[in-house]
Amino acid sequence: MNNENTIQYIGDRLQPSPSVMQPMQVTSPDAKCRVQKKKEGEKMVKLLSLFSGIGAFEKALTNLGIPFDLVAYCEFDKYASKAYSAIHNVPESMNLGDITKIDEKTLPQNIDLVTYGFPCQPFSQAGKQEGFEDSKGRRNLFFDALRVIQHCQPKIAIAENVKNLTSPRFKNEFATVLQCLTDAGYNNYWKVLDAKDYDLAQHRERVIVVSIRKDIDTGRFEFPKPVKLLKCLYDYLESEVDEKYYIPDEKAKALIPQLKEKMISNAIRGGARFNRQASMGFGMCRQGVTLSKCATKIDSLTSIANTLLARDFKSFGNRSMNAVVEYERK
């Protein structure tokens, strides 16, 4: 089966089929502390988690009601590892640590699912975009995940990375990723998905690559279709906010005329229906906005947050960032 046939963009077609994913029973004595509660007779998905972070893939499985047995997780950052352990109620001794030092031959081969969000910094628009030439040593980490996959031969492997990995700038790198997985015995299906299309009030585009072992791939897979967004930025906000998170009064005063202008022009264009001005009681309201130029310019009204970036913790800079305006409606 050649590359053209196995590495294909299949639009809205990728959904796990019950006939493909056939998880294993849990036999581990400590399984109770590290698996989602299962019904009597229900099978478990054996999961190996690489580049685990705080376990987003694991939380997704839990939210979907898919019981799983965590074989091990792999996270280099000690703080993320502690958070993972606390969130998923597993001992930190299950952390494989530095992926470059893993001896893949010590890992089991009866694994159903491997998840791996290999570092995005070499490909991100927020970084230097050095790709496989990354000067900080992150360029080869995909290949560390690959050797684990080659040895364990999971039924399914799912990767996540920034949308920019699929851009013309990195076409050779992305083609290499797909070809390596094909050579390892997998058919690969990929698509760029946006969180706002799945009932999350955040514009966050990520490429998802689902690799299905060729001997079990039936071709009956589809990416989930978008759903109607029922939430907005306000639904995630705390009712009381510490004063340190507010911008200075002089900047706020400069934004008020811009806010009025934006709200009026937005209503005239018919955009008001997309922006929920949430009432806080006593005439006080909140409106999501994006600010730039050190919080002196309102770029747009929004009920959907932009993707949070690593630099955002430094407070407002020249680039557009999320903010919320509180105002009194009279």
Residue of 206, 192, 221 lying closest to 14 (CA atoms) = 221
Q: Which residues are catalytic?
A: 120
CA distances from 157 to 34, 80, 152, 211 (A): 20, 22, 10, 5
Q: Which amino acid, 77? A: D
Residue of 178, 176, 262 lying closest to 9 (CA atoms) = 178
DSSP annotation of 248 reads P
Where are the alpha helices (H) located in 77-170, listed in sequence order? Answer: 78-88, 141-152
**What gap in Å lies between CA 281 and CA 278, rounded to an integer?**
9
Structural element, H or E, at residue 280: strand 278-281
**At residue 328, what are phi and psi to the nearest 5 degrees?**
-100, 125
**What gap in Å lies between CA 60 and CA 55, rounded to an integer?**
9
Residue 101 burial (10 A CB sphere; 0-12, 13-18, 19+): exposed
DSSP annotation of 121 reads T
**What gap in Å lies between CA 150 and CA 223, rounded to an integer?**
24
**What gap in Å lies between CA 195 and CA 222, rounded to an integer?**
17
Sequence-separated (6 or more) residues with CB below 8 Å from residue 243: none
Q: Which residues pair with 24 in a beta bridge?
A: 44
**What gap in Å lies between CA 258 and CA 320, rounded to an integer?**
15
